[in-house]
Every structure is written in structure tokens, then in C-alpha cells.
């Protein structure tokens, strides 16, 4: 299902980031229609339907228009260096609901295929909300990041209790420091915006933007995983 909304990637820029989205529309057909509309000027490399069907809209070697204004680990304008997957879901604006198991299995298979073709580190398998926390919330707190990580797609801090809601003195300042270490763009005036994005990904049981003890524990663990991978693989 080719989309006209694609162009050449900049020369010399590696494909080192995988960004997962939800479609935030009433149906997969409507989303694909929009992603192929030259007037809309948006696209993604793949769309994964709720029944597990996978559609390719843009070849991986080409740039798709999926991330918009985005930042991750010191890089900006991530369309140039990323592959984008749109996962069909009505989203928060159209009746957000859990992602079916068959769909998540297809997402996992697709991600593993992409990772076999490109040197994308686990720390760079991220949500749209991770790279644009001030304006995006997809794929959201119902997306099975833990299940993907168990299959080798992305990071997950196993065995780290995130349930402690107790207040930590200086917690938000510590959270902002850890968010930057992980790779988030953090607005000094509103660090809670990036914190909510982190929680939707790695602390899904509580994502109200509080820098409580459980959140800090998850932040510490994810930062350690990302830095260990960087030290091991570069």
C-alpha cells in the first residue's frame, strides 16, 4: 500500500531508531487512507492492523513522515534516522482499548525483522510519546512494551517494583536527571511532561506524572539498562 509521502534519507545518517505509534483513528482503513493522502503529508513505514495484517507504505531505506518534531538521545528530526510503525488503535481520542494479542504478535515479528536488518539498539526502540512528550501520548499505557522486551524488542526493567507511591524529597529533580540520561527531551520548566511519557512506557500502572519512589526505581533501572547497553555495544 505505497504512500507518496516519502523521500530520500539524508546521506550518511544511520537508521538507528524504531518508533512505535498508534493510529488514533476509528479504523485501520481510515488511517491507511490518511497515511497515503498526499495532502496530509504524513506516512509510516508500516501499519499493523488489529487482526495482525501488516501493510508496508514506505520502503525502509526511504524516509517516512511519522515522527514530526522529535528528539531522542541528542538527535532531532528523527524521521531521518528512524523506522516508524503505526499500530491500529482508536487511541485516546477515539476510544482507546487494549491491543489484541494477534496484533501484538505481528508487531513483535515485524520489529524483530527490522532489528535483524538495521543496527538499532534496544535503548532506541521507543514510543512516539517518548520522542515528542509535549504533544504525543501514543502508543500509550495499554501497549505491551514488557511483552515486546521479553522477545528482544526494547528494554524492560524486570524485577523492579514500581508500586511504591511514597513521596521522595527532591524527587522531580532526580527524575529529570534520569530522564535525560535515558534520552528524553526534558523541559526544565515542565519536567513532568517527559515523566508522564516515561510512565506510559515503563511504569504503566501509575502515570500521573509524580516522581514517587516507584517511578524513581523504574527510572534508575531503565537508565542503568540503557547505559549498560551503550557501554557494551557502543
Q: Would you say how long the chain is, in residues?
A: 234
Output the pLDDT for position 73.
Answer: 97
Preceding peptide of 139 cis, ω within 30°? yes
pLDDT > 70 in the chain, percent: 100
Distances (CA, A) of 119 to 50, 63, 115: 28, 17, 7
Interatomic CA distance for residues 221 and 215, integer angstroms: 10
Is residue 234 pLDDT above 80, yes or no? no
Is residue 8 pLDDT above 80, yes or no? yes
| pLDDT tens digit sequence for 20-76 | 999 999 999 999 999 999 999 999 999 999 999 999 999 999 999 999 999 999 999
| pLDDT tens digit sequence for 132-191 | 999 999 999 999 999 999 999 999 999 998 888 999 999 999 999 999 999 999 999 999
Distances (CA, A) of 135 to 19, 68, 173, 188, 212: 15, 10, 22, 16, 23
| pLDDT tens digit sequence for 86-131 | 999 999 999 999 999 999 999 999 999 999 999 999 999 999 999 9
Output the pLDDT for position 233.
Answer: 78
Q: What is the dihedral of CA 133, 60, 111, 87, to 10 degrees?
A: 50
pLDDT > 90 in the chain, percent: 97
| pLDDT tens digit sequence for 119-128 | 999 999 999 9
Which grid coordinates are listed for 55?
501493510
Model pTM score: 0.97
Output the pLDDT for position 162.
Answer: 87
Is residue 195 pLDDT above 90, yes or no? yes
Output the pLDDT for position 161.
Answer: 87
Unique residue bearing C-alpha cell 519512589: 213
Element (H, E) at 65: none
- What is the average pLDDT score of the chain? 97
By annotation, the residues acting in catalysis are: 86
Output the pLDDT for position 163.
Answer: 87
Supply φ then ψ for residue 98, to 5 degrees: -60, 150
Unique residue bearing C-alpha cell 504478535: 105
Amino acid at each position: 500500500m505505497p504512500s507518496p509521502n516519502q523521500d530520500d534519507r539524508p546521506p550518511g545518517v544511520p537508521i538507528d531508531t524504531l518508533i512505535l505509534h498508534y493510529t488514533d483513528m476509528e479504523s485501520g482503513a481510515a488511517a491507511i487512507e490518511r497515511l497515503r493522502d498526499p495532502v496530509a503529508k504524513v506516512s509510516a513505514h508500516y501499519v499493523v492492523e488489529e487482526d495482525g495484517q501488516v501493510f508496508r507504505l514506505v520502503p525502509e531505506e526511504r524516509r517516512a513522515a511519522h515522527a514530526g518534531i522529535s528528539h531522542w538521545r541528542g538527535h532531532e528530526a528523527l524521521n531521518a534516522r528512524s523506522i516508524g510503525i503505526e499500530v491500529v488503535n482508536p487511541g485516546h481520542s477515539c476510544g482507546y482499548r487494549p491491543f489484541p494479542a494477534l496484533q501484538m504478535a505481528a508487531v513483535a515479528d515485524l520489529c524483530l525483522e527490522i532489528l535483524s536488518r538495521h543496527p538499532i539498539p534496544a535503548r532506541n526502540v521507543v514510543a512516539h510519546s517518548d520522542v515528542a512528550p509535549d504533544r504525543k501520548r501514543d502508543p500509550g499505557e495499554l501497549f505491551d512494551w514488557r511483552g515486546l522486551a521479553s522477545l528482544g524488542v526494547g528494554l524492560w526493567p524486570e524485577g523492579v517494583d514500581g508500586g511504591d507511591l511514597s513521596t521522595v524529597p527532591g524527587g522531580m529533580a532526580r527524575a529529570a536527571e534520569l530522564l535525560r540520561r535515558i534520552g528524553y527531551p526534558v523541559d526544565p520548566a515542565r519536567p513532568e511532561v517527559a515523566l508522564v511519557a516515561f510512565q506510559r512506557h515503563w511504569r504503566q500502572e501509575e502515570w500521573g506524572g509524580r516522581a514517587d519512589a516507584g517511578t524513581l526505581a523504574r527510572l534508575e533501572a531503565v537508565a542503568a539498562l540503557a547505559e549498560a547497553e551503550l557501554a557494551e555495544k557502543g
